[in-house]
Every structure is written in structure tokens, then in C-alpha cells.
A and B are shown apart, each in its own frame.
Chain A
Amino acid sequence: MTPDVFLTVLAPENLAIIAIATFYGCFVGAVPGLTATMAVALLVPFTFFLDPIPAISAIVATTTTAIFAGDISGTLLRIPGTPASAAYVDDAHRLSQEGHARTSLFVSLFTAAVGGVVGVLILMMIAPQLARIAISFSSFETFWLACLGLTCAIFVGGGTVPKSFASLCIGLAVASVGIDVAVGHPRYTFGVPDLLDGISFIPAMIGIFAFSEVLRTVQNLEKRKEAVTEITEKVGRALAGAFRIVVRFPGTLARSSVLGTLVGALPGAGADIAAWISYALARRFSKNPEKFGKGSYEGVAAGGSSNNAAIGGAWTPALVFGIPGDSVTAIAIGVLLLKGMTPGPRIFVDQPELTSALFGSFLVANIIMVPVGILAILASTYILKVPRAVMAPVILLFSLVGAFAIAGTVTAVWIVLALGLVGYLMEQNGIPLAPAILGIVLGKIIEDNFMISMIKAQGDFMGFFDRQYSLVLGILTLGLWGLLILRTIREMLRAGRKRKGVSR
């Protein structure tokens, strides 16, 4: 890292922005129902007015702390604050009932920082290497990579194959709104001039993640029955205890962090899936697997480190290929595009200071998270008392004004409404959102590169297999499609078998 990158990252404004973002992330993450993605979607209108490096720093810091803070309500209320804390919520809550609420939260915090740092270190080592390969990619390879990303999203998105695929198609349909690349024909614009440019990405994200969340919140406004666990633990003892516990599981921490980074790098799989897998694996390798689910610090450490490591992992494909690893990086790519930067291998050559600054901000965010996290843990009972009846209207206003601020027209507000409803209905009917998000981001990339490649190859589809890398990527993609078809058939057969079992 060069000195001026240090200066950019450690500049007072940048540090202040990271600190504010950490507090914000802590708050949103700790409130049940408000996800890290929603935190970022609401943050974007602000980042839009910042320079690229502080903008990315703010996004990174918000995600990192929001994912950690999800443990706060998980531990005290047994309601995961973000889906990423769901895997080990039973353990954390049991520990707090036994009077170790603060110890458990400090374990979450420390392991989150460790996981986060490991994730960034892996990102720093691998991303430039991958970029060196990716720099020779042409439109053929980009096309296949984007296809691969979408296929991956269907595989890991949760939900049945038809539903995940339907989600992807919805995303592609949204992406195809606007003037097409090849001949400039307006598609699905209903004569609205603002739609000629396509559906603006940020209002779409605000709708899908923030507005749909507001709808869910207002349907469930009754006072919660679950009481917040009383905290009587001494802070000093809890800190020391947590530190000893973290030191006791170096193997679990290392394994979960690396695994979390890898899972995070898969398009469509984010922090929540990373936490589930690491938790299951930690149980398999643990000396006392019987404690898992009944208050195991090891389980908390495994999940807590891997979901934060996944955040760093998700940036790898986003930076190197322009293919987001999760919904947060999908939004981040949207922000970079708005700022006139196209994520991809060229960014490592053309703007090395940007990537270095990103890595630096990641590290700083993970460090600042520790003191802010301690404050949040001490204030946790107050954070959880803010009534949802107040939060819902405020979030609603911020999402509407945010969308308007980005696009400058009221059309953005209508987009928030329409896509928010679509996102809400999809979730209600068991259709995963991740494939749709990737479809919206990658739809244009796929179509542009397909059209360019087709024109290059003069309409010969075999041109997609002519080059070395594109051949490998193409075969990989087609292989995955085969597997998907097999899985669909298996799902259908299983449904049929269930029917026989019942009628008999």
C-alpha cells in the first residue's frame, strides 16, 4: 500500500465517515427485521454525494457492523437482527439466559472482527491475481462469467429450482426495460420517457429491500411478547471472559473465516449461508458437539466469524469480474457505475489506489467496529426499545426521499412502490430475492456482451467456445445447467413420492 493511499484512508473525513457508518450499521443491524442490505440501500443516496473512496468505505463499514449487530437482538431477544445471525441464535440466547449475555456478545464482536480481517486479507491476496487473468477476457468470457454467476445464484439462493429460476427471470425482465443496445428500440417503457434509460438500479434496490421491509413491519406492530433478557453481568469480567474464549478456538476461527470468505465469494450466497455452513462444520469437528444449540460459545464463534468474513469474500467477484457476490455488493456495483467506474479487472490497472483504499477501509472498519460495538453492547437494551411504530414511517420517508434524490424525478418513487411490492410478494410466496437482484445487475452485462459477441462471431454460436478461457467457462456453465435440470427432476420426484406416502 502506498503512502498516499494511507493518507486517503486515514484522512479525518474518511475516518469520520467510517465511524458514523459504524454507528448507523450497529443500530440498523441490532433492530430485528432491518437487514444489512436495507441499511446499505438507505445509505446509498448519501454515498452518491461523496467521493468514491469515502462512499465505498461507508458501505463497507455499514455492512460489517450491521452483520455483527444482528447478534445483539439474537442474543437478547432470540430474534436474529439480520438473517446472518440466524444460524447460532439459539446458542447465543441460551448463553444470555444463563447470565452470560455480555460475554456472548463480546465473543460475537471479537470473532466478527477476526473474521472480517481474515476476509479482507484473503481478498487482498487473491483479487489482484484473479484480475491478472481476467484482464485478458473478451466479451465472450464476460458473457459466460455472468451466466455462471446467475447459475450459481440459482444453486445457492435457497428455495426450489423453479422458484429461484423464476426469480432470475423476473430480474432479467426488469433489466430489459429501456432502450436496447443493438438497435435502440424502447422496450416495456409504457411511453414513460424516464424509463427509456431503464429502471434505475438504486430506487429498485430501495424498493426491494427497504420498502418491502416497511410493509412487513407495519403488519406486525403489536408489542413483542419476548422480554429482553436482563443484563447483570460485570463488563470487565465479561470482556476478559470473552477474550479467553476466543483464544480457545483458534482452529474453529480460522476454518470458519476461510470458509466464510469462500462462500461469500459465490454469487448469490451471502453472510447468512456462510454462517449456516460454518456452524454445521464446527459442530462436526467440535470436541463437544452435544452443546451446539444449547449455548455453545464455539458455535457463536464459528458463525460470528464466518458471516463477517463472507462480506470480504463477496467483494472478490464484484471487484475482479463485476459480478456481485451478494446483494450488498450488487448495490455497491450500482454505486460505482453511477460514479462512472466499471468494476472489473481494469480497475486494478487503471485505479489501483481505489482498490487499495477499499482494502484499507475494510481493515479500518473492522478495527473501529470493536470500540463502537462495545458501546452498542452496553447500550443494547435501549436500542431494542425504539418502537417499530416510529421506525416504519421514518424509514419510509427516508426511502422515498432517497430514491428521489438519486434519480431527481418522481418516477423513482413509483419504481420504489412497484418493485417494493414485487419484492414483498416474492418473499411471501417463497421466491428467493438474490437471483432477481443478480438478474437486474447482470442482465444488461449479459445482453450487451452476447450481442457484441454475436456480431463479432457473425451469428455463429460456436464462436462462444473458440477461445481457451471461454471454452472452459462455457463448459462449466453448461455443466451446471445440466445439474440444475437434474435437481429439478429430483425435486419433482420427491414431491410425487410425498403424495403417494400420504394417500396410502
Chain B
Amino acid sequence: MMNKDVATGAVLAAFGAWLVLEARTFPTLAGMTHGPGLFPSIAGSGLIICGLLILATGLVKRAAAVPVAEPSPPMSRQAWINTGAVLASVVFFALFLNKLGFHLVAFPMLLVLLILFGINWLKSILLAVGVTVLVHLIFYSFLHVPLPWGLLEPIAW
């Protein structure tokens, strides 16, 4: 059985090593042995040590075939699709917020996710419109957050 700790430990240790390597390029304070690199180095070294410890326990457990209590059952295909859709919609939101404007980003994002999650068409459209308008009213009208209008600039209100 695949033991998660082995992978977790390896990733953590690698990340720590990268932190330390990067920190070595930072300048030091005049006349002192420490500088901006000190704390990142401590965090990085800590991660290397912990990563290796976690890796070691993982290997020991694997060698002993200790049944690992998996926190969650393996993900279904639908779960993977849903996760991918959420991640993709955030990327879409971040990339196009300023170009298309808030409304043209939020509405399709909500609509696609709602339909994908099994809500019927009519409800999805109503909900997507309603929530987009609600967020507009709360953040733009009430809290005066400058949500970008993008393509809808000509009809901004």
C-alpha cells in the first residue's frame, strides 16, 4: 500500500532545501553574521529535518506494513472532476476579472459550477444571477469596493 508519509516527507524536505538554498543568496547585515537569510534558513532547515523524520517514519511503517489509517477514501471520478472545475474557475476568475469585469466572470463561473454539481438549469440560472447581483449590491453598492466593470464599463452604474 502506498504510504502518504513518504511522499509528504520528501516534498517537505525538498521545499526546505529550496528555501535554504535561496536564503544563502541574501546579503547579511554589516558587521553581523545574520541577516535576512537567517529566518528563512531556520524555517528551511526545520522543514528538511521534519521532512526526513516524516519520511523515515513512513518507510518504517511501510516496511512493517502497519495499516495506515487513511483519513479519506480514494476520490471518485466525479470528485476529481469537481475539484478540477473549482481550481479552473479560480484561475479563470483571476485571469479575466479585470478584462471581462466582475459580472461577466462571476455569472458564468457560478452557472457552470452549479450545473456541474447537479442543480437543474432553471434553478442554476436564477441562482447565478441572484448571487452575482447580491455580491454586486453588498460589495460594490454597500461597501464601495471597486469591482472592475471590464467590458460592461459603458453601462456601469
User: Which chain A residues have a beta carbon within 8 Å of chain B's beta carbons?
Assistant: 45-46, 49, 160, 162-163, 165-166, 168-170, 172-173, 176, 180, 182-183, 185, 187-188, 211, 214-215, 218-221, 387, 389-390, 392-394, 396-398, 400-401, 404-405, 408, 410, 413-414, 416-417, 421, 427-431, 443, 446-447, 450-451, 454, 459, 488, 492, 495-496, 498-499, 502-503
Contact = CB atoms under 8 A, between A and B. Distances in A.
Which 9 A/B pairs are nearest by Cβ-Cβ distance?
A: A180-B36, A499-B64, A389-B117, A166-B50, A219-B79, A172-B43, A218-B82, A169-B46, A162-B53
A404 B97 contact: yes
A401 B146 contact: no
B106 interface: yes
A393 B92 CA distance: 14
A393 B113 contact: yes
Contacts of B61: 495, 498-499
Given A166-B46, A221-B118, A401 B34 contact: no
A404 B98 CA distance: 11
Nearest to A424: B83
Contact count band on B = 35 or more
B54 interface: yes
Interface of B: 4-5, 8, 12, 15-16, 19, 22-23, 26-27, 29, 31-36, 38-40, 42-44, 46-47, 49-51, 53-54, 56-57, 60-61, 63-66, 71-72, 75, 78-79, 82-83, 85-87, 89-91, 93-94, 97-98, 102, 106, 109-110, 113-114, 117-119, 127, 131-132, 135, 138-139, 143-147
A176 B40 contact: yes
A218 B57 contact: no
Contacts of A185: 26-27, 35-36
B50 A169 contact: yes
B135 A495 contact: no
A393 B146 CA distance: 22
8 contacts: A45-B143, A183-B36, A185-B26, A187-B22, A397-B110, A401-B135, A404-B145, A427-B71
Contact of A393 (B63, B87, B117): B117
B27 A183 contact: yes
Contact of A188 (B22, B71, B117): B22
A168 B91 contact: no
A187 B19 CA distance: 10
B68 to A, nearest CB: 10
A401 B139 contact: yes
B117 A218 contact: yes
